[in-house]
C-alpha cells in the first residue's frame, strides 16, 4: 500500500499527571512508540480510525485478505468432516457445501462494509448494540482463537509428517505459532501486504498436491443415502465455518477511503471467502472419503492426522513432494496471522484498562496460550473440529441476527447514525440489556435444537442440528420488542 494510515495512533500515548517522574516516563514511552511506528508497526488499537486517516485506496487488498485466509488447509479439513465424520457421499457433501456457503457468506461480507463507512473495528461497532460488549468479545475471542488453534495444529502436524517424525507435532505447532505472531505483529499495513501475495504459494501447492494424488480420488468410500437430519447437521458445520468471520469482518477495511462503494467492499469480501472456500471444501470431502479406502492414506492419517494424508498424496513426487508439503503447512499462516491481529484488537475491549496496552503485546500473549492449547487439541483433532464448529455457530448466528436488526431496523441502514466519537461515552450508547437478553432467551430453543456428540436435544433428534438456524431467526425476533422497550427508557 502506498498510503501510510498509521502515523497517529492514539493508544500509543500515555496519560500522565503533572509529576516530573511521570512526565519523564511519558516522554520515554512516546519516543519508543514513535520509533516503533517508524518501523511500520501499527500502534493504533481498537479506537476508531478518524476520517483523515482512512486514506487507503487499494481496495483490492480486502479481497486478498479474505482470499488468503481461505486458501489453505482449513476449508479442506472442514470439507473432510462431511465424508470422514458424517459419512456423506461426495455428491451430497458438495451440494451442502455449495448451498450453505451461498447464504452463510453474506453476513461477513456485509459486516465488512462497516469498516470504511464508520472507521470502527468489528467489535467496537458491536458496542453500538451491546454496551456490555465484554461478554460478546469474550465469545468472539474464543471463536477466533479456536480457528487459530485449528490452523496451528494443521500446519504443525503437516510439518511433522514431512519430516518423517524428526520434527514432532509439538515442535511443528511452535514453529507455525511463532511465524503467525511475527506476521500479525506488524499490524494492518504489513498484514495486507503479506496477504496480498502469500496465497500464490498456497494455491500452487494445493494444485500440485491435487495433481499428484488426484488419481486416487476416484476411490470413494461407499455410502448409504443420508438421512435429512445428517444433511442439516453438516450444514451447521458449514455455517459454523463461515458466519463467525462476521465477528472480525470490518477489522480489515477500517483504513479504506470512505469513497469506496458499499457494494465493492461487499463483493471483494464475498468473493474472497466464497471463491476459494467452496472448491477447497469439496476437495477436502473427496480426500476424506478416499482416506477411508486407500491404505497408504489411511496409514498416513493414523500416524500424523491430516498432515499424514497430505504426505501420502504427495509421496509419489519424492523430495519435491516434501517441499510442496512444507508450503501446505505454512499455508495456514495467512489465516492464523489475520486471526491473531483481530484477537489483539479484541483484547482491548475486555477490560477498559487494556485499551492503554499496545495491540501487539496481545499477539505475544495469545501465542503463549495458543501453543500449549494446540498441542492438547491435536490429540483428538477431528472430534475437536466438529464440536468446535458446531458450538460457535450458535452464538455467532445470534450475534449476526441482533447486530443486523439494530442496523437495518433501528438505524435505518445509515452508518452516519453511528457516532464513532461516542464509542466510550456510555450514556450515548445502548445499554445492551435488550441484545444480551435476546441472545440469552433464544438459547431456550437453541439448546433443544442442538445435536452434539455430548448432547442431542429433543428437536434435534428429529430434525438434526438446527441450532444455528434457530439462533439466526429467533434472536432478531426477540430483540425487536426488547429494543423498542429499551429505547423508551434509555433513549440511546
Domain edges within the chain: 58-383
φ/ψ (deg, to 5) at 137: -60, -40
Count the neighbouring beta carbons within 10 Å of the beta carbon of residue 32.
Answer: 12
Judged against a pLDDT cut of 80, whether residue 378 lies above it is answered with no
The pLDDT of 152-172, averaged and rounded, is 83
Which among 423, 412, 343 has a CA at the least distance from the CA of 118?
A: 423
Angstrom distance (rounded) from CA 256 to CA 55: 6
Residue 18 three-state SS? coil
pLDDT reported for residue 36: 60
Judged against a pLDDT cut of 50, whether residue 6 lies above it is answered with no
Q: What is the largest CA-CA distance in the chain?
A: 77
The pLDDT of 346-350, averaged and rounded, is 90
Q: Which residues contact 101 (CB under 8 A, 6 or more apart)?
A: 238, 242, 274, 277, 278, 281
Q: Per-residue pLDDT tens for 286-343? A: 999 998 888 988 888 887 777 788 888 888 888 898 899 899 989 999 999 999 999 9
Angstrom distance (rounded) from CA 122 to CA 112: 8
Query: What share of the chain in percent tops pLDDT 70?
Result: 89
CATH ID of 58-383, from 1.20.1050.40, 1.10.4160.10, 3.90.550.10, 3.40.50.720: 1.10.4160.10
Contact 96, 104 (CB under 8 A): no
Count of residues making up the chain:
492
pLDDT reported for residue 31: 58
Three cell numbers written together for 140: 468472539
pLDDT reported for residue 257: 94
Query: Per residue, what are the HEC states of 253-312?
Result: CCCECCCCCHHHHHHHHHHHHHHHHHHHHHHHHHHHHHCCCCHHHHHHHHHHCHHHHHHH
Contact 177, 152 (CB under 8 A): yes
Judged against a pLDDT cut of 50, whether residue 8 lies above it is answered with no
CA 312 to chain centre: 29
pLDDT reported for residue 4: 41
φ/ψ (deg, to 5) at 451: -130, 90
pLDDT reported for residue 1: 41
The pLDDT of 444-455, averaged and rounded, is 85
The pLDDT of 369-373, averaged and rounded, is 90
How far are the Cα atoms of 99, 102, 171, 333 from residue 73, in angstroms, in the given order? 21, 20, 19, 10
Return mean pLDDT, the chain.
86
Judged against a pLDDT cut of 80, whether residue 454 lies above it is answered with no
pLDDT reported for residue 298: 87
The residue that leads in pLDDT, 27 or 69, is 69
pLDDT reported for residue 22: 44
pLDDT reported for residue 103: 95
Amino acid at each position: 500500500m502506498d498510503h501510510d494510515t498509521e502515523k497517529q495512533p492514539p493508544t500509543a500515548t500515555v496519560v500522565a499527571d503533572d509529576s516530573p517522574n511521570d512526565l519523564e516516563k511519558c516522554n520515554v514511552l512516546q519516543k519508543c512508540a514513535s520509533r516503533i511506528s517508524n518501523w511500520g508497526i501499527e500502534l493504533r488499537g481498537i479506537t476508531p480510525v478518524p476520517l483523515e486517516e482512512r486514506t487507503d485506496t487499494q481496495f483490492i487488498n480486502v479481497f486478498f485478505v479474505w482470499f488468503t485466509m481461505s486458501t489453505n488447509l482449513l476449508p479442506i479439513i472442514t470439507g473432510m468432516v462431511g465424508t470422514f465424520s458424517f459419512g456423506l457421499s461426495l455428491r451430497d457433501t458438495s451440494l451442502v457445501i455449495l448451498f450453505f456457503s451461498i447464504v452463510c457468506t453474506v453476513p461477513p461480507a456485509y459486516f465488512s462494509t462497516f469498516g470504511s463507512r464508520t472507521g470502527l473495528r468489528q467489535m467496537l461497532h458491536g458496542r453500538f448494540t451491546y454496551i456490555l460488549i465484554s461478554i460478546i468479545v469474550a465469545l468472539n475471542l474464543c471463536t477466533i482463537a479456536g480457528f487459530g488453534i485449528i490452523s496451528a495444529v494443521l500446519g504443525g502436524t503437516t510439518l511433522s509428517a514431512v519430516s518423517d517424525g524428526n520434527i514432532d507435532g509439538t515442535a511443528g505447532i511452535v514453529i507455525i505459532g511463532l511465524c503467525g505472531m511475527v506476521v500479525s505483529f506488524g499490524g494492518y499495513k504489513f498484514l495486507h501486504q503479506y496477504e496480498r501475495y502469500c496465497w500464490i504459494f498456497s494455491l500452487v501447492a494445493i494444485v500440485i498436491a491435487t495433481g499428484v494424488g488426484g488419481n486416487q480420488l476416484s476411490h470413494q468410500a461407499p455410502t448409504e443415502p443420508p438421512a435429512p437430519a445428517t444433511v442439516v447437521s453438516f450444514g451447521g458445520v458449514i455455517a459454523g465455518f463461515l458466519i463467525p468471520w462476521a465477528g472480525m469482518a470490518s477489522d480489515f477495511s477500517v483504513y479504506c477511503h470512505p469513497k469506496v462503494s458499499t457494494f465493492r467492499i461487499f463483493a471483494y469480501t464475498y468473493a474472497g471467502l466464497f471463491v476459494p472456500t467452496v472448491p477447497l471444501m469439496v476437495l477436502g470431502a473427496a480426500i476424506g472419503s478416499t482416506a477411508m479406502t486407500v491404505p497408504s492414506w489411511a496409514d498416513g492419517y493414523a500416524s500424523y492426522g491430516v498432515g499424514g494424508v497430505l504426505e501420502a498424496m504427495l509421496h509419489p513426487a519424492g523430495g519435491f513432494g516434501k517441499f510442496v508439503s512444507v508450503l501446505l503447512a505454512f499455508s495456514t499462516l495467512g489465516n492464523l496471522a489475520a486471526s491473531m491481529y483481530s484477537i489483539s484488537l479484541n483484547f482491548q475491549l475486555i477490560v477498559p484498562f487494556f485499551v492503554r496496552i499496545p495491540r501487539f503485546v496481545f499477539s505475544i500473549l495469545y501465542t503463549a496460550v495458543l501453543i500449549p492449547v494446540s498441542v492438547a487439541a491435536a490429540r483428538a483433532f477431528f472430534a475437536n473440529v466438529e464440536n468446535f464448529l458446531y458450538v460457535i455457530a450458535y452464538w455467532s448466528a445470534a450475534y449476526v441476527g441482533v447486530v443486523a436488526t439494530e442496523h437495518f431496523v433501528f438505524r435505518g441502514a445509515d452508518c452516519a447514525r453511528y457516532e464513532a466519537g461516542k464509542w466510550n461515552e456510555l450514556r450515548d450508547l445502548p445499554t445492551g440489556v435488550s441484545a444480551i437478553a435476546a441472545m440469552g432467551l433464544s438459547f431456550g430453543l437453541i439448546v433443544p435444537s442442538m445435536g452434539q456428540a455430548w448432547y442431542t436435544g429433543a428437536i434435534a433428534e428429529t430434525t438434526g442440528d438446527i441450532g444455528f438456524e434457530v439462533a439466526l431467526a429467533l434472536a432478531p425476533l426477540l430483540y425487536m420488542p426488547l429494543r423498542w422497550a429499551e429505547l423508551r427508557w434509555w433513549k440511546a
